[in-house]
Every structure is written in structure tokens, then in C-alpha cells.
Amino acid sequence: MNNKLITMQEAVSKYTWEGMTFAHGGALPVGSDCIAFFREMVRQGVKGINCISNCNTQGTNLLAAAGGIARMEVGFSGLEVYGFANGLKRAVESGQTILEDYSNGGIPIRVMGGALGWPFVPTFINYGCDQAWCSADEPDIYPNPNKIREVTDPFTGKKMGAFKSITPDVAVIHVTMADEQGNGIMLGTEWSRFELSRAAKKVVLQADYIVDTDCMRQFPNLVRIPDLVVEAVVYWPMGVWPACSTGCYDSDEEHFFAMNKMLKTEEGTQEYIEKYVKSYSNHQEFREVIGKDKITKLSDTATAFLMDPYRKWIKSDAEVQELMGGR
């Protein structure tokens, strides 16, 4: 039995460093992502991250606002119905963050290529358009022939594009539930978390619930991330807040807007960090910052029934703490 549970502080200090290629998921603006992990990155002052993102989320929005993202490859840089991502937008417009644009299918396909060990992936998406012709890494060349290279189908002789595959140094992946060994179950869309878990050199899970391994044995088809690809597991309830975790809690409309408004300015960002990043030191205190009433309201989600089959295996805070040797 290999117990991989570690604290959030340990995870960030061990698995993030300047200049690394960091991937995160689900990376849905309003859905699953390891937002709590990003908060801890900001608290520890992580800088110079090369970020691989399906989409921007409130995690990347915050880290970019705090000056932590040097470069980002992304399919969608907004917050869907919540609007433009003010922190990221500010970092890109000021030149602090280099943003290399792809599309929402482009990043997952490139990660899949990395997972399969392919150096490139043939593509029609992001081909014949400015995602190909504009490269933030080589801004002096337009149209750029290097970002999406042209290849010839060896069977038909027809031209198409080629994506460079991605193998991130680390992927931090939000899962709904994990066991202590690193088996993970995701509820809702996976986005590219399955591919990410196979492409990254190291994988860390951030889980809303820790469950007994018997849960995995009951639903092995749903364990799309098996323990053998996972190095560490962090237990962090409400860890996607203010976005939503399917089956657990809805997105917090009020905080989503307030957060994005604060990230619009440097002063607002500092205020946000004081109030919602530096104000707690563990997940119990984090939940106090969100507030009991707010958590009750957000947990009253129309998707709550999706968790019903798993509830009997959920470990309490005390049981998880015991598994972690009291930490």
C-alpha cells in the first residue's frame, strides 16, 4: 500500500519551480480545475511558469494577475458568461505573459500526442488561420510557418497541418474523488484530464473527497486515472471554488464576479491575495473563509445526486488526517 497523500504546501513546494512546463485540468473556466493549488502557488510566490491550459480558469487568471505566468499555451482565454479574464488580460496586454493561442481541441490533441509518444499530430484544426500564422514566440515572422508546420499525408499526398506534441513536467489534475494511492474518479466532463494524466512526467491529484479503495473496486470503469501514473494526492474540499465541481457544488456567481473585478488592478489583486490566499493555512480554515452558509448554498446543487453511489466510501476530515499521520 502506497499512501500518496501530502499537504497542499508540500505539493506546491515539491512540484512547482521557475521555468517548468505546468499543465492543469480540467481547465474549464467555470468547471473543474485545481484552483486551490493555484492559490497556494500564489501564496508561495511561484514565478516563471510555462503554463499549458485547455482554457483559462480563475486559477490561471489569479496566477497571471500575481505575475507568476511567463508564458501560456491556451485554447480559450476568457471566463465564458462571466466575461473576460481581467488578470490574464492585464498580464498579456502589458507584455508580462506571452500568450500562444491554440483552440480548445488543439491543446487536448497535442497532449494526446505527448501521451502516445508521438512527436507531432496531424491536424486540420488551427490550420489555415491565425492560430497557425501568428506565433507569440516568434512575433517577427508573419505568416509563421513554424508553429503549425505543413506536412504531406504520405498516403494521399494531400497537405495538412502538424501540431507539436506536449509532455508537461507536471500536471495537477482536479478529481472529484481519489483514494490515498492515487486512483481518481472524475464526475462531469473529463476535458483532457485522461490524456494529461498520461502525457505529464509527474501527476498530482487535487481531490474534493478522499474515498476508500473499495470505491474504486466497485467502479473500476470510472477510474480513468489509475494510481500508477500518480505521484501525490492532495485533499482539498471546495478546491475548485468559485468554479463548480460536478456532483459537489455550483459556481459561486457572486465571488466569481468579485474576484475577476479585483484582478483587474494591481491593488485589487493584492487585496484579493490578502483576503483569499493568505488568510488560511489549511483546508478547514479555507472553508471558513468561504463561509458555512455559502458552502451550504453552493452544495445544494442539482447535480448532487451524482455523488450518491459513492458516499459510503467518503473519508471524514479526521480519517484523512489520520491517514496523513496527523498533518
Partner 1 sequence: MDYSKNEMMAIATGREFQDGELAIFGVGLSMLAGFFAQKNHAPNLIAFTEGGVYGSTPVGGLPWGIEDNRISANATSFTNAVDALCMLVAAGKVDNAVIGAAQIDKFGNVNTTGIWEPGTQPWKVGKYTLPKVRLNGSGGANEIAVGAKKYLIMAAHEKKRFAEKVDYVSSPGYLNGGNDREKYGFPGGGPAAIITNLGILRPDPVTREFILDAYFSFSSVEEILENTGWELKVSPRVKMVPEPTEKELENLRAVDETGSLRKK
Q: Residue 254 or 319: which CB sits closer to partner 1? A: 254
Residue in 7, 16, 60, 126 binding partner 1, rule: CB under 8 A: 126
CB of 23 to partner 1, least distance (A): 14
According to the binding rule CB under 8 A, does residue 124 interact with partner 1?
A: yes
Instruction: Say whether 232 sits in a helix, a strand or coil.
Output: strand
Instruction: Report the interhelical angle of 86-93 vs 58-65 (nearest 10°).
Output: 40
Residue in 20, 160, 289, 323 binding partner 1, rule: CB under 8 A: 160
Q: Residue 161 or 268: which CB sits closer to partner 1? A: 161
Measured between its terminal Cα atoms, the distance across the chain in Å is 19
According to the binding rule CB under 8 A, does residue 114 interact with partner 1?
A: no
Distance (Å, whole) CA 75 – CA 91: 17
Identity of the residue numbered 291: G
- Which residues 166-225 are close enough to bind partner 1 by CB under 8 A? 187-195
- Which residues 12-71 are close enough to bind partner 1 by CB under 8 A? 26, 28-31, 54-55
- Which residues 258-297 are close enough to bind partner 1 by CB under 8 A? none
Other beta carbons within 10 Å of 132: 23
According to the binding rule CB under 8 A, does residue 313 interact with partner 1?
A: no
Cα 133 to Cα 75, 76, 128, 142: the distances in Å are: 15, 17, 8, 6
According to the binding rule CB under 8 A, does residue 103 interact with partner 1?
A: yes
Cell numbers describing residue 34: 485545481
Residue in 4, 17, 48, 80 binding partner 1, rule: CB under 8 A: 80
135 near 143, Cβ under 8 Å?
no
Task: From 10-18, 101-109, 225-233, 264-272, give the range in contact with partner 1 by CB under 8 A.
Answer: 101-109
Number of H helices, E strands in the chain: 13, 11
According to the binding rule CB under 8 A, does residue 130 interact with partner 1?
A: yes
Task: From 11-19, 120-128, 170-178, 265-273, give the range in contact with partner 1 by CB under 8 A.
Answer: 120-128
Residue matched to cell numbers 488551427: 126
